[in-house]
């Protein structure tokens, strides 16, 4: 095989991998938290300093008018969701609802739908209306990667076999 053929074969292989790869675990793309008490640029700066310290944060967008902060994840690094509310409180504000955007694969265990991570310790339990449940059944049977946007709550199951730390109440969902 000559140099040109080898180069073409390698390029073709790389392109195939790029276009056929699916996420191997749940990937947190972003977290948006509503913040009570933020009313000026100085407030936003104090919040920014605290939120930028959270593991996995690549970019931060603070909107004073909406009273929100959006944390955008680094590629292939999950945002430490458990650290968001304490960081907001530490900055002197009250955290409210958090909206998360997560991609991954759905599974069903013991009647509960989960968005999984490969470590099988951190899972997102996922709930939704009937349209989501139909979507989830289809995504589970086809093993399709999905993106879910929803309100997230901290929860912890007492049964270690179905351990999960967060419950996502779906608002938007789609196959990847």
Residue 110 has pLDDT above 90, yes or no: no
Quick check: helix, strand or coil at residue 52? coil
| CATH code matching the domain that covers 27-98, chosen among 3.30.70.100, 3.30.70.2740, 3.90.1150.110, 3.40.50.720 | 3.30.70.100
Are 157 and 163 within 8 A, CB to CB? yes
Are 33 and 60 within 8 A, CB to CB? no
Cα–Cα distance for residue pair 72/70, rounded to 1 Å? 6
Are 47 and 93 within 8 A, CB to CB? yes
What's residue 157's pLDDT?
46
pTM: 0.76
Structural fold of domain 101-175: OB fold (Dihydrolipoamide Acetyltransferase, E2P) (2.40.50)
14 band by pLDDT with thresholds 50, 70 and 90: very low
For the stretch 27-82, pLDDT in tens is: 788 999 999 999 999 999 999 999 999 998 999 999 999 999 999 998 877 788 88
Quick check: helix, strand or coil at residue 162? helix
Q: For the chain, give the number of residues.
A: 176
Give every CB contact of residue 135 below 8 A, 6+ residues apart in sequence.
Answer: 146, 173
- Boundaries of CATH 2.40.50 in the chain? 101-175
Burial track 140-167 (b if 16+ CB lie within 10 A, e otherwise): beeeebbbbbbebeeeeeeeeeeebbbb
Quick check: helix, strand or coil at residue 62? strand
The residue ranges of DSSP E strands in 17-66, in sequence order, are 27-36, 57-63
- Which of 138 and 124 is assigned the larger pLDDT? 138
- Boundaries of CATH 3.30.70.100 in the chain? 27-98
What's residue 26's pLDDT?
59
Can you tell me which residue has the tokens 């793309």?
Answer: 29
Residue 12 has pLDDT above 80, yes or no: no
Residue 11 has pLDDT above 60, yes or no: no
Q: Which two tokens stand for residue 150?
A: 């929803």
Residue 162 has pLDDT above 50, yes or no: no
What's residue 31's pLDDT?
94
Residue 30 pairs in a beta bridge with: 72, 101
Residue 165 has pLDDT above 80, yes or no: no
> Where does residue 111 fall: left (phi above 0), alpha (psi -120 to 50 degrees), or beta otherwise?
left
């Amino acid at each position: 095989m000559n140099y040109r053929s080898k180069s073409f074969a390698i390029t073709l292989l790389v392109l195939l991998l790029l276009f056929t790869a699916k996420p191997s675990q749940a990937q947190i793309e972003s977290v948006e938290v509503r913040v009570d008490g933020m009313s000026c640029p100085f407030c936003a700066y104090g919040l920014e300093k605290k939120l930028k310290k959270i593991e996995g944060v690549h970019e931060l967008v603070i909107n004073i008018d909406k009273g929100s902060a959006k944390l955008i994840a680094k590629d292939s690094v999950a945002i430490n969701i458990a650290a968001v509310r304490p960081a907001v409180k530490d900055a002197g504000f009250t955290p409210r609802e958090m909206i998360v955007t997560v991609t991954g694969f759905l599974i069903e265990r013991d009647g509960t739908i989960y968005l999984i991570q490969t470590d099988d310790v951190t899972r997102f339990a996922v709930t939704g209306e009937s349209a989501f449940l139909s979507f989830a059944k289809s995504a589970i049977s086809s093993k399709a990667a999905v993106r879910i946007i929803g309100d997230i709550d901290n929860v912890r199951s007492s049964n270690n076999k179905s351990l999960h730390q967060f419950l996502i109440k779906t608002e938007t969902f789609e196959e990847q």
